[in-house]
Structure 1
Amino acid sequence: MARQDVASMLAVALIVGAFASAPTSVQSIGVCYGVIGNNLPSRSEVVQLYRSKGITDMRIYFADGQALSALRNSGIGLIIDVGNDQLGSIAASASNAAGWVKDNVQRYQGLTIKYITAGNEVQGGDTRNIVPAIRNLNAALSAVGLGGIKVSTAIRFDAVANSFPPSAGVFAQSYITDVARLLASTGAPLLANIYPYFAYRDNPRDIQLNYATFRPGTTVRDDNNGLTYTCLFDAMVDAVHAALEKAGAPGVRVVVSESGWPSAGGFGASADNARAYNQGLIDHVGGGTPKRRGALETYIFAMFDENQKTGIETEKHFGLFRPDKSPAYAIRF
């Protein structure tokens, strides 16, 4: 989960079964499962915890063989990331993509794979690998009868420029337009990592805490289209929707592949704020956004605090659960 400075993009106006199968339905809430810690429960315990809490979907950040084995026949819908370090190889060679599919999809019977993500928050020159990697993975999946698994990529929010008002959203770089048009042709969604926390942290003078955490009290109107926003999350997601429209891909669905709030380690990071945000997110996304009504598939970051995460201290404190599997704060799925 790379961090970014999103404050510059938010205007002052924000004050106010055989092998793997595609799922038969879309649930609204999943949870990301990161493993950058030396004190985390076993993969099988984690799968049991997901099931006991009624969490229906999971995102993993690499093809973790232990996790994939534990997930067999669990019924949990799954996003599997192709690591950024592997993206160039898969983009360069159809046979490399086929080998990845064989090793990480075909060999694990009983998985319910929803999406394969060709890179997470890819930056710089590596962005040129996204489209060919998606094409090669699509071909590899189709060749073995698994074309129902959709392939996409996960973008940072700063891939969108002019994000306020939401209707002004446009992709900042041309490569995302190419990605969007490819996704439109395959029926895959665009995955986007959406973090109101970082926008609030970087601009608390102009962004109200209640607006950032699904608490009532602030209303923002988009004068371009007349839509009204009561939470920053909706405004950010609808900026992605607007950017897709401008890219010529209005039918591409958005999946929020990460969203969360830290419970410690920095400004605005507290158990109370994290609980308010994540419970608000769970309760909210079933209705979609002002621009796109209907369930918005969303993945909370993250299942556990990860004590070996690098970077700023808050990175270690996004977990819904502590490593001993006790709740970090009260949460209801």
Structure 2
Amino acid sequence: MASCSLCRVLLLFLTLSDSFVQIFSAGIGINYGQIANNLPSPPRVAILLGSLNITRVKLYDTDPNVLLAFSNSNVDFIVGLGNDNLEDMSDLIKAQAWVEQHVQPHLPQTKITCILVGNEVFASNDTQLRSSLLPAMQSVYRVLVNLGLDKQVIVTTAHSLTILGNSYPPSAGTFREDLVQYLQPLINFHSQIKSPFLINAYPYFAYKDDPSQVPLEYVLFQPNQGMTDPSTNLHYDNMLYAQIDAVYSAIKAMGHTDIEVIVSETGWPSKGDADEAGATVENAELYHANLLQRIAQKEGTPAKPSTPIDIYVFALFNENLKPGPASERNYGLYYPDGTPVYNIGLQGNLAGTPLSAPLSASNKTAFSVFNFLMLFLISCFNLRICQREGRRGIS
């Protein structure tokens, strides 16, 4: 009787513990930045992401420690080729050497499915860098074709929304005139190789720059009046979808309707400087929780209702060495010790348990209670077996 009662207690304990292990499987991607000196090791990060059921990760480089840690996992990787390498990549020999050194050795154990050639190149005024982007993408693609990898690894790049010359209303979205000479052949190339157009979209920036004119509810996916595009009569209840459709319109103005737009970065900081309006834990939690709910519903934008939005959240961890305002160091869903910055349902097996530090006092207590109950249950079970076997005359 006592052991049965104990079983019920233990079952209750395990049930309550399991409530903290909420597996999120809506299909989001996550940006895994590493501009910090206090992050957990890649193997521990692999465990965390596995517990969260996140199967898409974007890196900003080809860190071999990370790629090795995720070998034989079900995680798809976007890996980055930095802007400082773009000029060299126009040389096919150098591009092949880069792919053979940084990508090919990890295949197929680690599922690298995309190479991000450069990041926000057109945010720079460097004309040489701008001119190097397309040749670099073309060289890397040719190398993948030559190596027989082009069917499993795609080539693209990511853009800041500053490439838009007009974004309102969404149907009138166009690229900046000074960038058309670069973007037209780039978009033609995307269409040719059937690769997506990636954008880094942050409604937070719009709110921070003009909080008196941009409704907070509109950028946080909260109930609001929204806006109606006068040309299409499509209604928008959040800014992110309007930004995505503005990019679709700009691509259409370039003569293409066959290119998918993917949000390679979006997020909201949980902390900022005094002049960074809206950078709070509460707003960050609302933005991400509401966004994840939209993703889980597999809904599309008003202009592309049958195409579910495809998003990589920025970022996995707070990164303490990032330069700039305080917000730059506070975009993470997790602190470096593995505890969540706020609760949006992304709580896995390691949530609340430090990834690179000793257990806290509360966690030690929880583990001690759990271990005690387990040992006590095993002891009672063994005792009952001994008693039963003794009654049967077994020695």
Q: TM over 0.5: same fold?
A: yes
Note the 1:88-99 alignment, pairs <5 A.
88-91=87-90, 93-99=91-97
Instruction: Looking at secondary structure, tell me which structure has more strand per residue.
Output: 1
Which secondary structure does the structure 2 equivalent of 1:250 belong to? Answer: coil
CA distance in 2, matches of 1:74, 1:219: 41
Give the counterpart letter for 1:163 in structure 2: S
Structure with max Cα Rg: 2
TM-score w.r.t. structure 2 length?
A: 0.76
Counterpart of 1:282 in structure 2 is 292
> Is 1:198 matched with 2:205?
yes
Q: Is the 8 A contact 1:264 1:270 kept in 2?
A: yes
Q: Please give the alpha-carbon distance, in whole angstroms, between the structure 2 residues aligned to 1:218 and 1:332.
A: 27
The residue correspondences of 1:238-257 to structure 2 (distance < 5 A) are: 238-257=245-264
- Report the Cα offset of residue 28 of structure 1: 4.2
Cross-structure match for 2:354 = none
SS in 2 for 1:130: helix
Q: Find the partner of 1:305 among 282, 304, 318.
A: 318
Q: Could you say what the CA RMSD is over the residues aligned between the two structures, in angstroms?
A: 1.1
Match of 1:233 in 2: 240
**Distance in 1 separating the partners of 2:185 and 2:260:** 15
- 1:292 paired residue among 282, 294, 304: 304
Q: Is the 8 A contact 1:30 1:298 kept in 2?
A: yes
Match in the other structure for 2:371: none
How many residue pairs were aligned?
A: 306
Q: Is the 1:305–1:323 contact (alpha carbons within 8 Å) kept by the matching residues of 2?
A: yes
SS at 1:45's partner residue?
helix
Deviations 1:16-51 (A, max 9, x none): xxxxxxxxxxx7410100001111000111111111
Equivalent position of 2:39 in the other structure: 40
Superposed displacement of residue 284, structure 1: 1.5
Aligned residue for 1:272? 282
Report the equivalent of 1:330.
343
SS at match of 1:34: coil
CA displacement, residues 24-81 of structure 1 (integer Å, 9 cap, x when unaligned): xxx7410100001111000111111111111111000011111111111111111111
Give the aligned residue type for 1:219: G
Per the TM alignment, residue 218 of structure 1 is displaced from its structure 2 partner at its CA by 2.6
Q: Helix, strand or coil for the counterpart of 2:106?
A: coil
1:129 has 2:128 as partner = no
Q: Is the 8 A contact 1:156 1:193 kept in 2?
A: yes
Candidates 151, 157, 161, aligned match of 2:155: 151
Give the share of equivalent positions with the same residue, in percent. 37
Q: Deviations over 1:98-145 (max 9, x none)?
A: 111111111113122221111000123111111111110111111111
Hey, what's the Cα distance between the residues in 2 that align with 1:218 and 1:176? 34
Is this contact kept in 2: 1:61–1:80, CA < 8 A? Answer: yes
The secondary structure found in structure 1 opposite 2:102 is helix
Deviates more, 1:186-195 or 1:82-91: 82-91
Structure 1 residue 197 displacement after superposition? 0.3
Amino acid at match of 1:299: Y
Distance (Å, rounded) in 1 between the aligned partners of 2:27 and 2:190 = 20
Aligned counterparts of 2:104 and 2:282: Cα–Cα separation in 1: 43
Q: Give the superposition deviation at 1:151.
A: 0.4
Unaligned runs of 5+ in 1: 1-26
Structure-2 separation of matches of 1:118 and 1:309: 21
CA contact (8 A) 1:210 1:218 kept: no
Q: Structure 1 counterpart of 2:334, which letter? A: F
Question: For residue 208 of structure 1, what is the aligned residue in structure 2?
Answer: 215
State the 4+ residue runs in structure 1 displaced beyond 4 angstroms: none
| CA contact 2:166–2:172 (8 Å) conserved in 1 | yes
Q: How far does residue 176 in structure 1 lie from its aligned partner after superposition? A: 1.6
**Structure with the higher fraction of residues in helix conformation:** 2
SS of the residue aligned with 1:233? helix
Is 1:170–2:174 an aligned residue pair?
yes
Higher RCO (CA < 8 A, seq sep 6+): 1
| TM-score (structure 1 length as normaliser) | 0.90
User: Which residue identity is paired with 2:112?
Assistant: I
Supply the AA of the counterpart residue of 1:291. A
Q: Which amino acid aligns with 1:151?
A: V
- Which of these residues, 180, 187, 190, is aligned with residue 180 of structure 1? 187
Partners of 2:164 and 2:112 in 1: how far apart? 28
